[in-house]
Amino acid sequence: MGYNPGAYPPRPMYVPRVQSNLQTLGVLWCVFGVYRVLGGLIGMFFLQFAAMGRYNHFGSWPFGVGFGHGPAWMTALVPFVAFYTMVVAGLAMLVGFGLLNRKPWARPLAIVAAILALFKPLLGTGLGIYTLWVLASSQSGAEYDAIADPS
C-alpha cells in the first residue's frame, strides 16, 4: 500500500474574494444609484400630484382646503426629496465608479455606504450585506490594497 495521489481529492485553490466580486459589486452599486434616482423621481411626482389635490374631485383634500389646493407642506417637501435623492444616488454612483476603477478611497466609502444601505429594505439590505461580506474583513482590505489603482 503505497501513496496513490489519485485517491485524494485535489486541494481547492484559493479564490480571492475581492478580485472575483469587485466588478459585480461596482455594477450593482451603479444600478442601485439608478434605482434610487427612479424611486426619487416617482416619489416627487406623487408628492407633487398629491399636493395639487387634483385627484379628489368630490370635494377638498382631507389635509387642505378647497379643490386644487393641497397642503403647503407637501409642496415644500419636494425640494428636500430631490436633494436627498441626489445625495443618496450620487453616493451610490460614486461607490460604483470607485469600485469599478479600483480607487483606493472606494473601499472605505463602500463600507460606509453599505452600512447606510442596510436600512433600505430588500435591495439596499441585500447590497449592503453583499458589500460588507466582500470588503469588510481585514483580509479583504489587504487584498483590495494590493489590486487598487493608486492614480
| Model pLDDT for residues 106-119, shown as the tens digit of each residue | 999 999 999 999 99
pLDDT at 79: 86
Identify whether 92 is part of a domain.
yes
Identify whether 37 is part of a domain.
yes
Q: Which residues of the chain have pLDDT under 50?
A: 56, 58-61, 64-67
This prediction has a pTM of 0.77
pLDDT at 61: 47
Identify whether 117 is part of a domain.
yes
Identify whether 143 is part of a domain.
yes
Identify whether 44 is part of a domain.
yes
Identify whether 102 is part of a domain.
yes
Identify whether 28 is part of a domain.
yes
pLDDT at 50: 73
pLDDT at 5: 63
- In three-state form (DSSP H/G/I as H, E/B as E, the rest C), the secondary structure along the chain is CCCCHHHCCCCCCCCCHHHHHHHHHHHHHHHHHHHHHHHHHHHHHHHHHHHHCCCCCCCCCCCCCCCCCCCHHHHHHHHHHHHHHHHHHHHHHHHHHHHHCCCCCHHHHHHHHHHHHCCCCCHHHHHHHHHHHHHCCHHHHHHHHHHCCCC
Q: Into how many domains does the chain fold?
A: 1
Residue 116: domain span:
23-147
Identify whether 16 is part of a domain.
no
pLDDT at 128: 97
